[in-house]
Amino acid sequence: MESLRNILESLASGDIDVDEALKRIRLFAIEYIDSKVRYDIGRSIRRDVPEIVFGENKDLSTLENIIRRVTSVIGKVIISRLRDDQINFLKSLKIDNIVIEVNEVGRIAVARLENIKRSEHICKVGIVTGGTADIRVAEEAKVIAEEMGCDVITLYDVGIAGLHRTLEAIKKLKDEDVDVVIAVAGMEGALPSVIASLLDVPVIGVPTSIGYGVGGGGVAALYSMLQACPLGLAIVNIDNGVNAGIVAGLIGKRISLYRKTKFE
């Protein structure tokens, strides 16, 4: 594979331009960790999203090694779907120059170098849940959207079982002038449809595995959201708060770029 030095030397000599150099750099860099993990540390450069590690099936030593190696190279790494023992381990883990923030409800953690600050963009994401049982997935999405630089407001337990609560939440979202909404719901998953029918911004529906009986485990909620009548509603997979947060963050960052360009 072409080395980073070769790319920079080609740029300096005029053999390639800045755009070509950037293209090649974004295809560059694999970090080997304990001969078990081939970590693509260039992914955040190529995609412009936070680097996220799926933590659920990793042992504690591998998790620690990933945090030490990856954070030291790219400045920040997010670990999702944490088990209870991993949460307790990360809460007590001390590494020089690395700060680890654990969101126990969302079962997600952010490890960053002390001098690395969270991005800030001119965008706002609203996150709503049908019930309190959906908050875990919502908090996962919240951490991701915030790490992508968006302001986030949360409105929990506003499901359609009490429609007045839903309408109050929609009014709040309008008042806050959010750019995109993440609607998290289990059972029949009707909340995103109601919100999408009353707001003029993109809505991301997240079905959760809350629910039982026929269509339990989030299946009924997923099918209901996919069959929704309102337009402007996009759906991610069951319990996938990470992807919902990423999509919302990408939308928000593009909006922020437009706002900065327009007002500068």
- For residue 230, the domain's CATH number is 3.40.50.1970
pTM for this structure? 0.84
The verdict on residue 118 lying in a domain is no
The verdict on residue 264 lying in a domain is no
- Tell me, what's the pLDDT at 7? 77
The verdict on residue 119 lying in a domain is no
Q: pLDDT-derived band of residue 2, with 50, 70 and 90 as boundaries?
A: very low
Residue percentage of the chain with pLDDT more than 70: 89
Mind listing the pLDDT tens digit for each residue in 190-207? 999 999 999 999 999 999
Task: Kindly tell me if the per-residue pLDDT of 31 is higher than 60.
Answer: no
- Tell me, what's the pLDDT at 157? 96
Lowest mean pLDDT among 21-25, 112-116, 167-171, 190-194: 21-25
Task: Kindly tell me if the per-residue pLDDT of 98 is higher than 70.
Answer: yes
The verdict on residue 105 lying in a domain is yes
What's the rounded mean pLDDT across residues 13-32? 74
CB 208 within 8 A of CB 220: no
Mind listing the pLDDT tens digit for each residue in 129-172? 999 999 999 999 999 999 999 999 999 999 998 899 999 999 99
Handedness of CA 101, 209, 234, 229 (dihedral sign): negative
- Tell me, what's the pLDDT at 48? 73
Q: Which of 90, 113, 136 is the last residue of a domain?
A: 113
Asked whether residue 78 falls in the same domain as residue 147, the answer is: no
The verdict on residue 208 lying in a domain is yes
Domain that holds residue 246: 124-259
Number of domains into which the chain is organized: 2
- Tell me, what's the pLDDT at 87? 97
